[in-house]
Structure 1
């Protein structure tokens, strides 16, 4: 039977989520990859156990994570029920609805029908009465924002979620739904956007809104699908995600176009006595609005390495200027696939 590390809280940092009372571990574990029905369950257990042993308390899921869709929630639910049930109240577990989950007009987007049904299905797979955070995974262009907001608010009133979040909304869209949540007194506290050194849109668009309204961000893709690690410093390994033509999120042309930039960033990281991945994670956390950075893992050892980023979170202005200068010379790339 799994017994958690008694020193798990000694070194992890916990950040307050905006003006709410909730705190999240500075690093959260995302279950988008490596936790589906095609992945070895023993490795999934080892990763989840290692995360918690390191003080990571935020576990991020969505209804369609797999493959097959739903299997990440099911696997996590089984691990929680059999190995970690005693620690449920020490965990922040989130899920989402908004991307395609089942056939027909109701298994997608942000209608009340879709969100309520999806949340009920997620809770069944997770074997939980409630999740700590439930997100609208993306804005729905065909559903009034009021309907999506009311559906999310109902989840809280029905005891199926403690807090509400949104993901992939623009700054303008975020402000619009915040106004509705304020009228409803919905505990909306967090936004989950993509953010890394190669994709900085939220600095201009979203972070100012979060700052002004007392909300926080939990950012995903902090390592840009592995580009901001040492994996591609010397080219494209045959076993890498970029080398696999089936990957919709990282392509060889993107790697080729960023190698020189990555090599220069790696020199900055070396001078900080960090790996490039550690520096990239710390760089995301430099914003007070970023409560947590969501990382993925295919092996427990990756989590041990990533947590080392917390040993050096401070940047001098000279370092930030150097990073900005390097990034400003990066050729324009279409990052929409990220």
Structure 2
């Protein structure tokens, strides 16, 4: 059984999630990679317990995280039982459904049948009675949005989730979701989009003339941004080539070969120089940069080791930027073709 650090709540700043009553740490832990069946449970346990000691209270999952799908929830559920018993009420545990989970017609998408069946299965794997936030993981153009949001309302009204959220919806789709949610009596708490120095889509207006950040700020929704390190590209790993043990070296599906095109590497090297001048690692500056906008509630990071997690969390020691630094960063912080989620969701 892990005994949490008594000063854990003094370690990280928190931000209020939109116009809700929920505070979230500015850095949260995502269990997308490195928490599957093929990863050492002992390492997973070390990362999670260290995250708790560092003041991270939000643990983000999805039904299909692993690999194989479901294994991240199973493994975290075991850690919760064996190492964090008694801390459930101190944690914000989130999960999502929307992508492929099981074979057949009802194992993906935004239907009521899939979302609620998936949530029930997630609760069993996690060994909890409820999750704090349940997300529609992606916009599904084949399902009426009212049905998807109705399923989220049922999840909240039945007590299986405390809050509802959406992920990777465009500004236009988010506006539509907010209008429908208001009609059916659903409060949408939070949006989870990708965002990084090399993936700035949430800042840019879509066909509606609004950016996603503008919509979220106006609606009072929080933003928990994922992949602020651009799947690891915004670290020092790739400055001198592709390491064998890296995500790119392993051929991970979230990392394509064209992500490492010379244009991107040149940007990363230039950004790394700015980070060094700030007295930060590139990863620390990348996390601090997404948090520069108060509409961003929390940066969702992954970790393959305790050391990596500690390095990332140290970003909070220097969150401020001068205008000159931001101007210099803008010279290199541009689209790098990293929004692999856009064709499946945010572009729809």
TM over 0.5: yes
Q: TM-score, normalised by structure 2?
A: 0.93
Rounded to whole Å, the distance in 1 between the matches of 2:83 and 2:136 is: 29
The CA deviation at 1:333 is 4.3
Once residues 188 and 14 of structure 1 are traced to their aligned partners in structure 2, the CA distance between those partners, rounded to angstroms, is 20
Q: What's 2:219 paired with? A: 213
Structure 2: distance between partners of 1:251 and 1:19: 37
Gaps of 5+ in 1: none
Quote the residue 1:256 is aligned against. Answer: 261
Query: In structure 2, do the counterparts of structure 1 residues 216 and 262 end up closer, same or farther at CA, with 3 Å as the change threshold?
Result: same
- Name the structure 2 match of 1:335: 338
Task: Report how far residue 247 of structure 1 moved.
Answer: 2.4
Q: Counterpart of 2:207?
A: none
Return the alpha-carbon distance in structure 2 between the equivalents of residues 239 and 119 of structure 1: 33
* 1:103-182 correspondence to structure 2 within 5 Å: 103-182=103-182
Deviations 1:215-244 (A, max 9, x none): 111001100111111111122223322233
RMSD: 1.3
Q: Over residues 12-53 of structure 1, what are the superposed CA-to-partner deviations in whole Å (9 max), with x where a residue is unaligned?
A: 111100000001111110001111111111111111000001
Q: Distance in 2 between matches of 1:253 and 1:141?
A: 28
Of residues 275, 279, 285, the one that matches 1:273 is 279
The match for 1:295 among 292, 301, 306 is: 301
Contact 1:243-1:251 at 8 Å conserved across structures: no
Superposition TM-score, scaled by structure 1 size: 0.96
| Counterpart for residue 86 of structure 1 | 86
Identify which of 296, 304, 310 aligns with 2:316.
Answer: 310
1: CA distance between counterparts of 2:148 and 2:12? 35
- Matches of 1:182 and 1:24 in 2, distance apart? 24
Query: What displacement does 1:179 show?
Result: 1.0
C-alpha separation between the residues in 2 aligned to 1:290 and 1:149? Answer: 23
**1:10-89 equivalence runs, <5 A:** 10-89=10-89
Could you tell me how far 1:83 is from its partner in structure 2? 1.4
Alpha-carbon contact 2:196-2:290 (below 8 Å) kept: yes
* Residue segments in structure 2 that go unaligned for 5+ positions in a row: 205-210, 342-348
Distance 1:253 1:157, change over 3 A: closer
Kindly state the Cα deviation for residue 337 of structure 1 after the two structures are TM-superposed: 3.4
Spell out structure 1 runs of 4+ moving beyond 6 A: none
Do the aligned partners of 2:12 and 2:56 also contact (CA within 8 Å) in 1? yes
User: Secondary structure of the residue that 1:230 maps to in structure 2?
Assistant: coil
Q: Is the 8 A contact 1:168 1:192 kept in 2?
A: yes
